[in-house]
Structure 1
């Protein structure tokens, strides 16, 4: 058989381009068509807590924006790290996402020596949802103390107080430990699997103190079942509650952020599409008002901004965790 003539460079390049197009076309079509089926959004805390309420406020609008159902999957435990680990191990096809918080992605690395994921490597960051201050709440049986009166009560009967958190190794936990250090009393830490069960025991007086976000606490505060002593930052939802700084207590000015993450290696086009949808929803005045009613300030932004916050806050909370000796084995 006679040898075929060599293919010219232009023709060879054209054939190669066609071949690559044939290979890439299905992948490109899959990405540009995303989503074509329901998306699972893992919330690493129980239903009824602050994080869950924030996500459910966004769910209907996000579903409309994306054109597919957004299925909320509550996977609580270990301060939110169990659900976050599930997201990290999921197939990076864009159909499993997770809610990230300061606790799960900035604090956890400093307090869990055997953390089952690496916040810096195992996630594709999609963007912020919003930010929220923390509130120090007390059981209604204590009346309505300010920080000075509460510190006096703690010192008068230190064995009579314990503090709840939404999970060991969360910001809720670290702020409690920080307050314990200021009070100089042996407060007992009682960790819960999320906010909802902690609220139950705070209301009943099984525990006496708790740091958490306004989202879940405010209904009980307004009903008089628990009392808001101080906030870490001004918030319209708790306009009558003074900040720690206003009460002369420095070092309590932290806020929590909420964001959305996908498993690492999720196509960039998918992450960017979700970011566009999320920012569109957050820019809606009605959504912003609904979040504000939960004590959350909507914070549209870029994936890079969320990733930068993880890096910054990992260093910040690492110093706090070391100072209070917070470790979870």
Structure 2
């Protein structure tokens, strides 16, 4: 019988190449994930983005076969958490929630943004889209947008009005600035670290109005703690609230998208596996219904589709930021 060394010498060259690949790159054969995955939410717990992500968490970790740990890293309009993701190890164990605010608006509002949305991330796909709603303190309750503007104008000089946002450089901020320009009434912008503290002050009257997505505001609207005046697009969650367009007001049709992204350099196989798991969760009727109940339309899709949306929306929001003077120094 030939010795093992004789057998080894008789192997064809292609076999040596295969053995070399396995020996040099054993990690390529490793399964992913083999430990918990951290999902960074760049806004506080209790806000709209956080609530959307928590709708996905149970089934997402079931699909991945590992716990998905939500890490709320808020501040600076979501850019603190996004910076953390951009600088994390590209090993597939840190993934971040990205939004129109953090990855399209931020570029124009923060001149020294610590990350480049177009280059520093490996996009993994959409979660969904959501319109915005204009909500006001009960003392400013009006029948429609034009009546609200008339009331603001009538009170100008007698009262100091302000609008809250979920942070400087967010869509919430820029639409508020757009509204100020439309109303031709001076409004003081009051940024918050997230939605939850802004809601508290809106209810208490420390700020008089704000734009945000329905998921967080709807419970307060339905409890009549704040009043909804208009939405940027129809939503079943607030079916009785008219859109700006139906009130004859143009250029208020923006929607927020939510997505997920890994740090640049994360292996494509990991990104694709996460995308497949995410799309399966979003296609589940119960999950889609739960998101719809929060004002979000589930949007399964490809990593390339989200990448394209980021590149398209950066100049769009840049034009708006410039028109309302929202760039920070």
- Counterpart in the other structure of 1:275: 275
Mapped to 1, the partners of 2:24 and 2:37 lie a distance apart of 26
Mapped to 2, the partners of 1:152 and 1:269 lie a distance apart of 56
- Counterpart in the other structure of 1:55: 53
Mapped to 1, the partners of 2:174 and 2:214 lie a distance apart of 17
SS at match of 1:71: strand
Mapped to 1, the partners of 2:187 and 2:163 lie a distance apart of 7
The alpha carbon displacement at 1:11 in A equals: 4.5
- Counterpart in the other structure of 1:119: 117
Mapped to 1, the partners of 2:140 and 2:12 lie a distance apart of 84
SS at match of 2:279: helix
- Counterpart in the other structure of 2:229: 229
- Counterpart in the other structure of 1:46: 44
Matches within 5 A, 1:280-291: 280-291=280-291
The alpha carbon displacement at 1:28 in A equals: 1.4
SS at match of 1:34: coil
Matches within 5 A, 1:138-287: 138-158=136-156, 159-287=159-287
SS at match of 2:207: coil
Mapped to 2, the partners of 1:226 and 1:154 lie a distance apart of 17
Mapped to 1, the partners of 2:66 and 2:145 lie a distance apart of 47
Q: Which runs of 4+ in 1 moved over 3 A?
A: 10-14
Mapped to 1, the partners of 2:15 and 2:234 lie a distance apart of 62
- Counterpart in the other structure of 1:4: none
SS at match of 1:93: coil
SS at match of 2:45: coil
TM-score (normalised: structure 1): 0.94
SS at match of 1:200: helix
- Counterpart in the other structure of 1:16: 17
What CA deviation, in whole Å up to 9, does each residue of 1:127-157 have, x standing for no partner? 0000000000001122343101110011112
TM-score (normalised: structure 2): 0.94
Mapped to 2, the partners of 1:123 and 1:143 lie a distance apart of 43
Mapped to 1, the partners of 2:245 and 2:63 lie a distance apart of 41
- Counterpart in the other structure of 1:5: none
What CA deviation, in whole Å up to 9, does each residue of 1:267-311 have, x standing for no partner? 100000000000000000000000001000000000000000001
Q: What 5-or-longer segments of structure 1 have no aligned partner?
A: 1-7
The alpha carbon displacement at 1:13 in A equals: 4.8
Mapped to 2, the partners of 1:328 and 1:78 lie a distance apart of 12
SS at match of 1:300: coil
Number of residue pairs aligned between Structure 1 and Structure 2: 318
SS at match of 1:160: coil
The alpha carbon displacement at 1:14 in A equals: 4.0
SS at match of 2:146: helix
The alpha carbon displacement at 1:27 in A equals: 1.6
SS at match of 2:124: strand
What CA deviation, in whole Å up to 9, does each residue of 1:218-240 have, x standing for no partner? 00000000011000001111110
SS at match of 1:259: strand
SS at match of 1:256: strand
Tell me if the contact between 2:142 and 2:148 (Cα under 8 Å) persists in the aligned partners: no
